[in-house]
Structures are given as C-alpha cells and as structure tokens.
C-alpha cells in the first residue's frame, strides 16, 4: 500500500446540473497541467466542443487532454464505448494533424454494439409519450447488458477470434429481443462480426490495465484529471429518475470507474452554467419557455453537441446546485457562460421551491413531486457590459460580481474558475484557490 501524499494531484471535474455545463472547456483548460486525463463513465452520449484558436473539435469518447501530446488520455472501465464511433473520432483527429498515440483504453470497459443502439432507438419509439429523450447512442442497453453479465468488453477485442466467439454466443438472444419485442429485423452474425474486424485491429493495441497504470502514476505523484460526463441530476441513483442516464455521474465513480481507491481523490470541482439547460424529457423547474429562454438559447448557442437538439433553457437553480454539491462533495465551483447573461435586465436565481404553500430548500427525495413545486426566485440587477475580455474577477462589472457572490453563497462552495467565453484564454482563475495552485499560479 502506498502512503497517501497530501499534495493536490488528483482532481475530479463533474457536471453539477443536467450536463452541458461547459465541462469540456474547463477540462481543456486544466488539462494543460495534467499528466493524465481519465474518463470514468458514460459513452458517446457525451459531447464536448473544444475551441482552440481557429480549430473546433467535437469529441464524444476522447478526453479533451488529447489535444496536449504530453497528456496521457484514458478511457476507464466505468465507460461504455462504441468502438466504431471511437475509431471515427480518432480518424478525424488524425486527419487534422492531432496525434492520438497518447490514448489508452481500459480492457474492462464495456462495448456499445450495433444492437444496443437499435434497441435504444426502438425502445424510445415504443415508449411514445413516456420516452426518456435519450441520445439514441445505445447507452442504456449497453449498461443493462453489463449488469446482466452478457456484455462484450474491450479486452475481448484483443483477439478477433475471441471477439467473434463472444458475439456469436450473445447475438441470438439479442436478435430474439430485437425481433420479438421491437419488430426489428435483427443482425446477421457474419456481417456484423466482419464490420468489427478493422475496429478491433485499430483499438486492440490501445487496450491496457488502466488501474495498474494509474497506480504507477499516483506513485510518481503525477497530476491526474478525472473527467466526468453528463451531470449530477442525470445520475442513475441521484438524478431525476427515470429521466436520467444509465451511469453514475457523481465524483465517487471517478474511483470505481477507473480502478483507483477513493482516498486518492484530492479535490472535486463542480461545473455550473450561470443559468440552467437540459436536453431530453424530465422535470426542470426554472425552465423559461418564453422570451428569456429563447434569448439564453440563442446567445448561449444552446444546441446539443451529440444530437443537435435545442436545449431547454432557464434560470440558475441553486436548489439543484446545492444538491449537486452534497452528492459530489464539491470542493470548488467553475461557473461557465457568465458572458451569456450580459444584456438581461434582470437575472433570476431560484433559491428555494414552494410546494402547497411550504418552502423547500433541499432537492426532494421523489422528483415526481417537482410537478407540484414552483421556484422561489431572487432577482438581481443585470449588466450590459461585454464580459468576454475579462481576465480577472476585478475586470467584471459590479452587478456580475454580485451575482457570482450570490451563487457562491447559495451553493455554499467557493467559485474557483469563471468562464467568459469558449476560448481557453477567456478564463478567470480566482486567486488563492486550489485551482490557481494546480495551474501553477
């Protein structure tokens, strides 16, 4: 057993709302100092756009750290990986001159197969009005097969004949489900198997024992950034069930999703948008269906990276943010897209909910009661100034600083980073915070 050091070397970044908080931008910024960036849950349902100079990268599986050749990028065992999509992502990066030989994949990660995606789509169609609004990437069926112990793992790709054997054992049942329940024609074994041959060849050499690699990195006091996908309210246990994703999105799964002991996690940053968005179905109390929502959507370019769907938009909800702080054990906050709020006459923040006359300050145990709740707002004066050139907290207008202070007070966790635009340079690091230390400032 290694002795625990007390330097700040291992940082988890998680979404603290319903995903799409701008984690990619924050992670990309912090990854500049990281020796390793590791994803620990989710799959290609995630999508992050990273802007670097004139280049825009849309990544689904691959951690943002890939843009830095000195950073080792890991896909952890807690993930579900669509190997065909992953190969397309790798090809796209390589075509644009980005080296990808710094990527490694845990052999224990499960694969999203073509039949998972078919089932996800068919299931949503069958649910009709009751649908979850998934990304259609096969995430739920892949995690279900993992739990049912009939998944195919990355390690099975090391040997193509073993991969085919495993697929041959599983496909008849998958086809029966597809044909008999969903009316789908199913998949032909030979054709399906062959379609994975080039993928196995490309991905096979990247497969490793991620836990062992991370233990070595920890021993050598390397800086490791654990990169969460989606957000706290989409967590399979703690989110707005059943309108959630199928993985554990909270910080604790950074440990189990990579094979690292929990004691090695030093800090946890929760990323919060200065307002709130959500894609897919499910409760969203501060949603603005009128003018204010449309304004946030257009100014914030709130359209999904993975599906292109317009995001539902509304005001910042400190009830869910406080809840996210609790279930993640957040040690710091990163607030993104503050610049989008410029030009609003009034900026609103939900500070509590009201249900049948009663004031509720904690996120309810049963999300179905949210139907009976209304947000209780505190209003803040807006500001007109363009924030995109601010590089220090003191560059921000007083009204924006006051709003940030109110966010910090309502959530009960210090703001360490403020983002005022998509570019790496448009980032404010609050002096004296652990993040400033991580960045070597």
Contacts with ligand IMP by CB under 6 A lie at 19-20, 45-47, 132-135, 137, 139-140, 229-230, 234, 243, 245-246, 279-280
Angle between helices 139-147 and 114-127 (to 10 degrees): 110
Supply the residues annotated as catalytic: 20, 48
- What end-to-end distance do the CA atoms of the chain give, in Å? 32
Say how many C-beta atoms besides its own lie within 10 A of residue 347's C-beta: 24
Q: Closest CB to ligand IMP among 64 and 135?
A: 135
Q: Which among 83, 345, 103, 312 is positioned nearest to 192, based on CA atoms? A: 83
> C-beta of 23: minimal distance to ligand IMP in Å?
9
Residue nearest to ligand IMP (CB): 280
Beta bridge partners of 268: 12
Rounded CA-CA distance 396/383 in Å is 10
> C-beta of 43: minimal distance to ligand IMP in Å?
8
Q: Closest CB to ligand IMP among 10 and 48?
A: 48
> C-beta of 427: minimal distance to ligand IMP in Å?
21
Report whether 43 contacts 137 (CB < 8 A). Answer: yes
Q: Closest CB to ligand IMP among 229 and 330?
A: 229
Q: Closest CB to ligand IMP among 288 and 302?
A: 302
Report whether 430 contacts 439 (CB < 8 A). Answer: no
> C-beta of 85: minimal distance to ligand IMP in Å?
13
> C-beta of 15: minimal distance to ligand IMP in Å?
8
Q: Closest CB to ligand IMP among 243 and 275?
A: 243
The answer to whether the bond into 242 is cis (omega within 30° of 0) is yes
> C-beta of 437: minimal distance to ligand IMP in Å?
29
In which region does residue 336 sit, left (phi positive, over 0), alpha (psi from -120 to 50) or beta (all else)?
beta
Q: Closest CB to ligand IMP among 45 and 276?
A: 45
Q: Which among 129, 131, 143 is positioned nearest to 77, based on CA atoms? A: 143
DSSP 3-state assignment of 343? coil
Angle between helices 318-328 and 398-411 (to 10 degrees): 50
Report whether 234 contacts 18 (CB < 8 A). Answer: yes
């Amino acid at each position: 057993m290694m002795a625990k050091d007390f330097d700040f070397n291992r940082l988890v970044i998680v979404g603290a709302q319903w995903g799409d908080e701008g984690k990619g931008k924050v992670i990309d910024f912090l990854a500049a100092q990281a020796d390793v960036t590791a994803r620990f849950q989710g799959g290609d349902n995630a999508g992050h756009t990273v802007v670097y100079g004139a280049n825009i990268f849309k990544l689904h599986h691959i951690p943002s750290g890939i843009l830095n050749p000195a950073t080792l990028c890991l896909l952890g065992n807690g993930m579900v990986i669509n190997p065909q999509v992953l190969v397309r992502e790798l090809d796209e990066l390589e075509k644009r001159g980005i080296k990808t030989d710094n990527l490694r994949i845990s052999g224990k990660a499960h694969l999203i197969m073509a039949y998972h995606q078919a089932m996800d789509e068919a299931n949503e169609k069958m649910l009709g009005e009751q649908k979850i609004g998934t990304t259609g990437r096969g995430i739920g069926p892949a995690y279900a097969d993992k739990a049912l112990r009939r998944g195919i793992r990355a390690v099975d790709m090391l040997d193509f004949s073993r991969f085919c054997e495993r697929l041959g054992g599983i496909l008849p049942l998958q086809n029966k489900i597809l044909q008999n329940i969903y009316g789908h024609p199913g998949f032909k074994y030979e054709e399906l198997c062959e379609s994975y041959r080039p993928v196995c060849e490309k991905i096979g050499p990247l497969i490793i024992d991620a836990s062992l690699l991370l233990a070595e990195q920890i021993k050598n006091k390397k800086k490791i950034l654990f990169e969460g996908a989606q957000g706290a309210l989409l967590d399979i246990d703690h989110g707005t069930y059943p309108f959630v994703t199928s993985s554990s999105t909270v910080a604790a799964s950074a440990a189990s999703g990579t094979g690292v002991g929990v004691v090695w996690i030093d800090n946890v940053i929760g990323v919060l948008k200065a307002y709130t968005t959500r894609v897919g179905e499910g409760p969203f109390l501060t949603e603005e269906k009128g003018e204010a929502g449309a304004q946030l959507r257009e100014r914030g370019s709130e359209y999904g990276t993975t599906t292109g769907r317009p995001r539902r938009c509304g005001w910042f909800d400190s009830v869910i943010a406080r809840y996210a702080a609790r279930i993640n054990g957040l040690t710091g906050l990163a607030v993104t897209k503050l610049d989008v709020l410029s030009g609003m006459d009034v900026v609103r923040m939900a500070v509590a909910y009201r249900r049948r006359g009663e004031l509720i300050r904690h996120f309810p145990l049963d999300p179905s009661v949210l139907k009976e709740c209304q947000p209780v707002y505190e209003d803040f004066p807006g500001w007109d100034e363009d924030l995109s050139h601010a590089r220090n907290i003191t560059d921000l207008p007083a009204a924006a600083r006051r709003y940030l202070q109110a966010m910090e007070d309502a959530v009960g966790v210090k703001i360490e980073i403020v983002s005022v635009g998509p570019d790496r340079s448009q980032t404010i690091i609050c002096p004296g915070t652990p993040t400033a230390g991580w960045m070597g400032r």
